[in-house]
Amino acid sequence: MKTILVILGFICVLGLVISRSQRKEDDPLKNHKFAVVKTEAEWRKILTPEQYKVTRQRSTELACSGAYWKNHEKGIYKCVCCKLPLFDSKTKFESGTGWPSFYKAIHKDAILEIPDDSFGMSRTEILCSRCGAHLGHVFDDGPRPTGLRYCLNSVALDFEKDAK
């Protein structure tokens, strides 16, 4: 029994190594040049520990814990790292997931979509196109007109309320 478990463990590790090496060869970010580039120390100075963990280390905040998942005010959601406008409140909807969800980005070039096969799941990760901050993931179970659900971490966003 121990031998079988060791072999299965080895196969899992080997699979992860192979998938990571293939990801480097097919890296969609290989030719992308970020306009905002900082050292890890510089990011740590300007971000809270939670912001750093999510945006720079690709973590996820707990569901229903973020500041914007129930925000219904009108305005623009920007990248917390570089302030690039990403999503308009007009495209925000209640997804029932506990994270702020949108069906469309402000501009298609505001975000980058990259494959994410971490944790045994096949998803599409979204990054800020200006600084590479991890924002969340996009799924194809959203409302019309796009059918997309951009599921974001509140901590990766700054909200600028409409002036009225």
pLDDT surpassing 70 at residue 12: no
Contact partners, residue 53, CB within 8 Å, separation at least 6: 59
What mean pLDDT comes out for the span 5-29? 51
Q: Fill in the DSSP letter of residue 162.
A: P
pLDDT band at 25; cut points 50, 70, 90: low
pLDDT digits (tens, 9 = 90+) for 89-137: 999 999 999 999 999 999 999 999 999 988 888 899 999 999 999 999 9
What mean pLDDT comes out for the span 33-56? 96
Is 128 a known active-site residue?
no
Q: Where is mean pLDDT largest: 73-77, 118-122, 159-163?
A: 73-77
Tokens of 27: 């890296």
pLDDT band at 145; cut points 50, 70, 90: very high
Distances (CA, A) of 13 to 21, 118, 120: 12, 13, 12
Per-chain mean pLDDT for the chain: 88
Alpha carbons 34 and 93: distance in angstroms, whole number: 29
CA angle, residues 104, 105, 110, in degrees to nearest 5: 160
Indicate which residue of 79, 81, 131, 151 is catalytic.
151
CB count within 10 Å of CB 89 equals 19
pLDDT band at 19; cut points 50, 70, 90: very low
Buried/exposed code over 58-73 (b: 16+ C-beta within 10 A; e: otherwise): eeebeeeebebbebee
Question: Closest Cα partner for 101 from 72, 80, 129, 130?
Answer: 72
pLDDT surpassing 80 at residue 73: yes
